[in-house]
Amino acid sequence: MEKAKNNGRILIIGAGGVATVAAHKCAQAPETFKEIMVASRTLSKCEAIKRDIGLRYGRDIQTGQVDADNTPELVNLINTFRPDLILNLALPYQDLHIMDACLETGVDYIDTANYEPLDEAHFEYSWQWAYQEKFKQRGIMAVLGSGFDPGVTNVFTAYAQKHLFDEIHYLDVLDCNAGSHGHAFATNFNPEINIREVTQVVRHWQEGKWIETPAIIEEGSIHFTFDYPVAGPKESYLLYHEELESLALNTRGLKRARFWMTFSENYLTHLKVLNNVGMTRIDEVDYEGCKVVPIKFLKALLPEPTSLGTGYTGKTVIGNIMTGIKEGKSTTKYIYNVCDHEEAFRETGTQAIAYTTGVPAMIGAMMMLKGAWQGEGVYNLEQLDPDLFMEALNQYGLPWHIVDHEPLPATV
Ligand code: NDP
């Protein structure tokens, strides 16, 4: 079947913090996003986004209620709205069901987080890369991981590979949240997904192999103090992150790839206790005859990430330090963005973590709808041309800087 003509129609699935930002940013670019629908499990959240967008930009968007795990229900919604592109901002559990619906209806797909099965705290691209042939045969495109990390960090690498290096040998992604939300403990995006991610055994890539080290809450976790631009010195922990998997494959000459994230003592202490008492378990526990999944119960107790924006102060600083060769000379470059929680809140009613994810989600969607990114099959961001995406980051609220830097040490 032929792909539908591009009418600038986007279906956003999910109505959490990231979807809120993406919907706002789509509404700010009416020449590309001519019609917008936000559909999610809880209709009232979609309605709240619609109201806010109406008030701020005078634009009317559509809303829908859908369980994205129910592929026939989603197919019905797609056939009614007839989008040119689906932007999946629900949870990683929904990725494959939504990709199935795209295959059935012939609609392009983009997301911000790779698939993860409900019953196993493990994420990797294999499940979505397995759709390569099916998407090619159907003549449609899937773009995986268009948030900040993964997302912008992949585009920074592609840009560096295209313009700044002949070969990148060492890549370090550094993710700093120097903000303060005023709660004793909260996560900045979906608590269940966030806690599953940060309690895992850590891996980094070196000389073609994955090296395992203790989780951030275990004895022997690897960390060092990095002096971030604007934010200053912060303790940064080695963490496994999904972009390492695709960047290790797609970066010319790469010898080592690591990911670092800042955590406060307070956050780590809470997480250790929750983990030690079993509150981060993802299996069912019998409680007085009811089946309870502790991490889901914990999610119900923690603040909704969308509620954190009020009073959130400080900044995020996320970027890549890359060392490699240009014209025979060794060189190190640092590409990074600084985002302010209060400014993000003023513009979209959410904090900077949702903002730094929702803006690149919109930009990735824009690249696809404008035809700057075209293809058939499944792509990670570093496989696509970075230039227009980098321009759009400057235009839509995530300006970046490139500076010379010292290489990061091999061991810390
Ligand atoms: P939230 O939990 O705030 O929002 C998730 C939304 O998805 C909710 O509206 C939820 O509905 C909806 N949803 C869940 N299940 C279904 C379903 N079966 N059908 C339809 N809708 C569903 O999450 P965030 O906004 O914080 O995060 C969204 C995504 O962004 C996540 O996948 C996260 O991993 C990713 N992310 C990526 C980052 C990056 O840099 N690449 C950084 C941060 C997040 P309901 O309200 O009913 O629960």
pLDDT digits (tens, 9 = 90+) for 258-276: 999 999 999 999 999 999 9
Reported as a single tens digit per residue, the pLDDT across 214-252 is 999 999 999 999 999 999 999 999 999 999 999 999 999
pLDDT of residue 6: 87
| Nearest-angstrom CA–CA distance, 18 and 34 | 20
CA-CA distance, 288 to 292, in Å (whole number)?
Answer: 10
Please report whether residue 325 resides in a domain: yes
Residue 37: inside a domain, yes or no? no
39-60 confidence digits (pLDDT tens): 999 999 999 999 999 999 999 9
Per residue in 171-224, pLDDT (tens digit) is 999 999 999 999 999 999 899 999 998 999 999 999 999 999 999 999 999 999
- Report which ligand 1 atom has the smallest distance to the Cα of 94: 18
Please state the atom number of ligand 1 nearest to the C-alpha of residue 147: 41
What ranges make up the beta strands (E) of 269-363? 285-287, 290-292, 315-326, 329-340
Model pLDDT, residue 84: 98
**Per-residue pLDDT, 371:** 96
| Domain presence at residue 307 | yes
Task: Specify if 333 maps to a domain.
Answer: yes
Contact partners, residue 189, CB within 8 Å, separation at least 6: 16, 17, 18, 305, 353, 354, 357
Would you say residue 4 has pLDDT above 50? no
Neighbours of 170 (CB within 10 A): 18
Separation between Cα atoms, residue 292 and residue 307, nearest integer Å: 25
d(CA 275, CA 295): 10
CA-based nearest residue to 314, from 341, 354, 337? 341
Give the separation between CA 93 and CA 77, rounded to whole angstroms.
19
> Any idea which residue has 């924006």 for tokens?
309
Name residues whose C-beta falls within 8 Å of residue 66's C-beta, 6 or more positions apart in sequence.
13, 39, 40, 41, 73, 74, 77
Give CA–CA dist 25/76, Å, rounded.
26
Average pLDDT value for residue range 389-411: 97
Asked whether the predicted pLDDT for residue 1 surpasses 90, the reply is no
Q: Which residues pair with 313 in a beta bridge?
A: 180
Alpha-carbon dihedral 207, 208, 212, 213, rounded to 10 degrees: 20
Whether residue 351 has its Cβ less than 6 Å from ligand 1 = no
pLDDT per residue over 347-356, tens digit each?
999 999 999 9
With tokens 């159907």, the residue in question is: 138
The answer, yes or no, to whether residue 161 has pLDDT greater than 70, is: yes
Angle subtended by helix axes 152-159 and 243-250, to nearest 10: 20
Strand (E) or helix (H) holding 367: helix 352-370
State mean pLDDT over 308-321. Answer: 95
Look at residue 5 in the predicted model and tell me its pLDDT.
Answer: 59
Cα separation of 336 and 160, whole Å? 12
Q: Which domain holds residue 160?
A: 152-350+399-404
Residue 106's Cβ-side half-sphere holds a number of Cα atoms within 13 Å equal to 11
Ligand 1 pocket residue status of 179, Cβ below 6 Å? no
Mean pLDDT to the nearest integer, 72-77: 98
* Cα–Cα distances in angstroms (integers) from residue 203 to residues 155, 217, 243, 409, in the given order: 22, 14, 12, 17
Q: Is 301 a member of any domain?
A: yes
Q: 172 phi and psi, to 5 degrees?
A: -125, 120
- Position in ligand 1 atom list of the atom nearest CA 42: 47
For helices 152-159 and 387-395, give the axis angle rounded to 10 degrees: 130
CA angle 85, 87, 89 (to 5 degrees): 165
Phi, psi of 340 (to 5 degrees): -105, 125
**Residue among 18, 239, 245, 381 to mutate when testing ligand 1 (max atoms within 8 A of CB):** 18
Candidates 356, 368, 352, 365; CA nearest to 398 is 356
The minimum-distance atom of ligand 1 relative to the CA of 18 is 25
Position 2 scores a pLDDT of: 45
Query: Residue 340 above 70 pLDDT?
Result: yes
CATH number at residue 307: 3.30.360.10
Per-residue model confidence (pLDDT) at position 306? 86
In a domain, 133, yes or no: no
SS (H, E, C) 251-262: CCCCCEEEEEEE
CA nearest to 179, candidates 400, 342, 348: 342
With respect to residue 164, please indicate whether it lies within any of the assigned structural domains.
yes
The residue to mutate among 63, 98, 357, having the most atoms of ligand 1 within 8 angstroms of its beta carbon, is 357
Residue carrying structure tokens 């955590």: 263
Domain count along the chain: 1
pLDDT at 412: 82
- What does pLDDT average to over the chain? 96
Residue 235 lies in a domain: yes
The Å distance, Cα 272 to ligand 1 centre, comes to 24
DSSP conformation class of 160 = I
Percentage above 90 pLDDT, the chain = 94
* Contact in structure between 388 and 367 (CB atoms under 8 Å): yes
CA angle 355, 358, 364 (to 5 degrees): 140
Helix (H) / strand (E) element for 30: namely: none
Tell me the best of 91, 148, 393 to mutate to test the pocket of ligand 1, counting ligand atoms within 8 Å of each CB and taking the most. Answer: 91
Q: Which two tokens stand for residue 332?
A: 């190190």
Averaged pLDDT, 393-400: 98
Q: Which two tokens stand for residue 20?
A: 């809120």
Looking from the CA of residue 356, the nearest atom of ligand 1 is: 40
